[in-house]
């Protein structure tokens, strides 16, 4: 007698990510109660289970939902406003003045809705966000049913969001307290960068993260100029300063980490830190090539992030996987650096590990939440397919994502996003803010 369950997904290939290198042909994923129940051959699944819903994926590869380890979601509203500039000019001449004029809770809510819709359609089921008005970002992610870690940002200087470090802390804690029991929304402490937060502010961030059991999410070592300025101001490199202040640890996620020497690598490894690698943003802002093969060789966890749509300009982890693999090869002149399976792991399980969510997501493993992504490899430009994982990294694009599930609930079906908000409303929101920026 067949057992009743919620969902059966029959796929041409299932790539669970763990165990490493595994590719299962003509397999099924059994989902019940929002969790993965089993992964087994299709014939056995059809015989053993009777599902309320069945999805047939005859030309598809099924993978874990992608994890975007670093994004400023609300900045979707600033996509393309200041292209082809280096980082500090981009920030000082365009982004910070625009934020001073426009950032509000409505701005963050609307921009995060646009970002969440874009990420979901591209197979991203979890993101690690950092921006102002975290309560508004949480509302947006919740509305579309996405999993998110929302950063309570800390800065030393006043912004339209907060007046001083105490105000940032107070508002961030209030947002975290409001959402603390939500099953998909978590919070982090997010000091912006070593050059925007003082020693006292960083010590405050560490105390908060330790007290509340939260991760620390922070830009670090993004440009060569940042390193030189830190040595001039503090007599040491930024990571050395962070180590001295007790910032580095298992819960630390360092974003970019482009300019690293041997001492930096040793600190990140010794303190069991994670790195959010943002290859496209690093290229576009001419920041440099992060030494990802060296980080991996030192057993530093490396996940992938898109950064914002203002500096990328896509929230597209298929692009990031491809760029991560190719940059590693050209940067080391070693074609074996960051192979396809490693790039896929960076976009899934490594990101989940960095967020300390790997017991819940990041691989297609029985007992984990059913956060899943199906990619259609049936079109002519994806044929022939000798290795589906190679195709995911070097051939496929986000437009080939056909289905996305979060907690076993379908969020994208046949390329159409099933949201509590229509595309027409999202387009209206985008047009509204473009008019405001132009005025």
Query: Could you tell me the two tokens for 163?
Result: 């007046």
Give the contacts of 233 (CB within 8 A, at least 6 positions apart).
Answer: none
State the pLDDT at residue 86.
86
The class of domain 3-64+370-417 in CATH terms is mainly beta
Mean pLDDT of 357-365: 98
Residue 1 has pLDDT above 80, yes or no: no
What mean pLDDT, rounded, does the chain reach? 96
- Confidence class for position 237, pLDDT limits 50, 70, 90: very high
Q: What is the mean pLDDT of residues 85-100?
A: 89
The number of angstroms, rounded, from the C-alpha of 131 to the middle of its chain's C-alpha atoms is: 14
For residue 88, name the pLDDT band (cuts at 50, 70, 90): confident
CA atoms within 13 A on the CB side of 272: 8
What is residue 336's predicted lDDT score, i.e. its pLDDT?
98
pLDDT at 243 over 80: yes
Is domain 67-354 in CATH 3.40.190.10, yes or no? no
pLDDT at 268 over 80: yes
Whether the Cβ atoms of residue 141 and residue 185 lie closer than 8 Å to each other: yes
User: What's the pLDDT tens digit per position in 184-204?
Assistant: 999 999 999 999 999 999 999
pLDDT band at 276; cut points 50, 70, 90 = very high
Does residue 372 surpass a pLDDT of 80?
A: yes
| 22-74 per-position pLDDT tens digit | 999 999 999 999 999 999 999 999 999 999 999 999 999 999 999 999 999 99
**Is residue 91 very low, low, confident or very high in pLDDT (cuts 50, 70, 90)?**
confident
User: What is the pLDDT at residue 186?
Assistant: 98
Task: Say if strands 49-64 and 372-376 run parallel, antiparallel, or are unpaired.
Answer: antiparallel
Residue, of 417 and 140, whose pLDDT is higher: 140
pLDDT of residue 280: 98
pLDDT score of 422:
84
Task: Give domain limits for the chain.
Answer: 3-64+370-417, 67-354
**pLDDT above 90 covers what percent of the chain?**
93
3-state secondary structure the chain: CCEEEEEEEEEEEECCCCCCCCCEEEEEEEEECCEEEEEEEHHHHHHHEEEEEEEEEEEEEEEECEEEEEECHHHHHHCCCCCCCCHHHHHHHHHHHHHHHHCCHHHHHHHHHHHHHHHHHCCEEEEEEEECCHHHHHHHHHHHCCEEEEEEEECCCCCCCCCCHHHHHHHHHHHHHHHCCCCCEEEEEEECCCCCCCHHHHHHHHHHHHHHCCCEEEEECCCHHHHHHHHHHHCCCHHHHHHHCCCCCCCEEEEECCCCCHHHHHHHHHCCCEEEECHHHHHHCCCCCCCHHHHHHCCCEEEECCCCCCCCCCCCHHHHHHHHHHHHHHHHCCCCCCCHHHHHHHCCHHHHHHCCCCCCCCCCCCCCECCEEEEECCCHHHCCCCCHHHHHHHCCCHHHEEEEEECCEEEEECCEECCCCCHHHHHHHHHHHHHHHHC
351 pLDDT band (50/70/90 cuts)? very high
The structure's pTM equals 0.97
Residue-wise pLDDT tens digits, 383-429: 999 999 999 999 999 999 999 999 999 999 987 777 778 888 999 99
pLDDT of 262 > 90? The answer is yes
Nearest to 369 by CA among 23, 14, 33, 123: 33
pLDDT at residue 300 greater than cutoff 90: yes
Q: Which of 87-91, 241-245, 340-344, 384-388 has the lowest mean pLDDT?
A: 87-91
What pLDDT score was predicted for residue 368?
A: 98
């Amino acid at each position: 007698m067949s057992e009743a369950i919620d969902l059966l997904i029959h796929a041409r290939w299932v790539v669970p990510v763990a165990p490493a290198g595994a590719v299962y042909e003509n397999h099924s994923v059994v989902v019940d109660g929002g969790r993965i129940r089993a992964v087994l051959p299709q014939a056995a699944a059809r015989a053993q289970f009777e599902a309320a819903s069945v999805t047939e994926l005859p030309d598809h590869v099924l993978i874990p939902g992608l994890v975007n380890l670093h994004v400023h979601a609300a900045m979707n509203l600033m996509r393309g406003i200041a292209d082809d500039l280096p980082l500090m000019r981009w920030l000082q001449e365009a982004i910070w003045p625009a934020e001073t004029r426009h950032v509000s809770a409505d701005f963050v809510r609307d921009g995060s809705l646009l970002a969440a819709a874009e990420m979901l359609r591209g197979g991203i089921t979890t993101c690690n966000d950092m921006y102002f008005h975290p309560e508004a970002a949480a509302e947006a992610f919740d509305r579309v049913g996405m999993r998110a870690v929302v950063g309570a940002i800390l800065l030393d200087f006043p912004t339209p969001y907060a007046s001083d470090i105490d105000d940032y802390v107070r508002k961030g804690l209030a947002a975290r307290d409001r959402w603390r029991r939500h099953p998909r929304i978590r919070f982090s402490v997010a000091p912006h960068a070593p050059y925007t937060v003082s020693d006292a502010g960083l010590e405050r961030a560490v105390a908060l993260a330790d007290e509340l059991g939260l991760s620390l999410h922070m830009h670090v070592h993004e440009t060569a100029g940042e390193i030189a300025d830190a040595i001039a101001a503090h007599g040491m490199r930024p990571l050395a300063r962070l180590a001295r202040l007790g910032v580095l640890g298992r819960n630390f996620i360092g974003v970019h980490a482009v300019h690293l020497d041997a001492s930096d690598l040793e600190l990140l490894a010794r303190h069991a830190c994670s790195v959010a690698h943002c290859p496209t943003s690093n290229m576009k802002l001419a920041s440099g090539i992060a030494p990802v093969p060296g980080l991996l060789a030192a057993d530093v966890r490396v996940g992938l992030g898109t950064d914002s749509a203002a500096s990328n300009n896509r929230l597209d982890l298929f692009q990031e996987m491809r760029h991560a693999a190719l940059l590693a090869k050209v940067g080391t002149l070693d074609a074996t650096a960051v192979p396809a399976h490693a790039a896929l792991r960076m976009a899934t399980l490594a990101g989940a590990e960095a967020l300390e969510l790997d017991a819940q997501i990041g691989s297609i493993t029985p007992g984990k939440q059913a956060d899943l992504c199906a990619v259609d490899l049936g079109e002519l430009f994806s044929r022939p397919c000798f290795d589906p994982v190679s195709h995911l990294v070097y051939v496929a694009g986000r437009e080939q994502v056909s289905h996305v599930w979060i907690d076993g609930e379908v969020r994208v079906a046949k390329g159409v996003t099933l949201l509590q908000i229509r595309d027409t409303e999202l387009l209206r929101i985008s047009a509204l803010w473009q008019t405001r920026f132009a005025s």
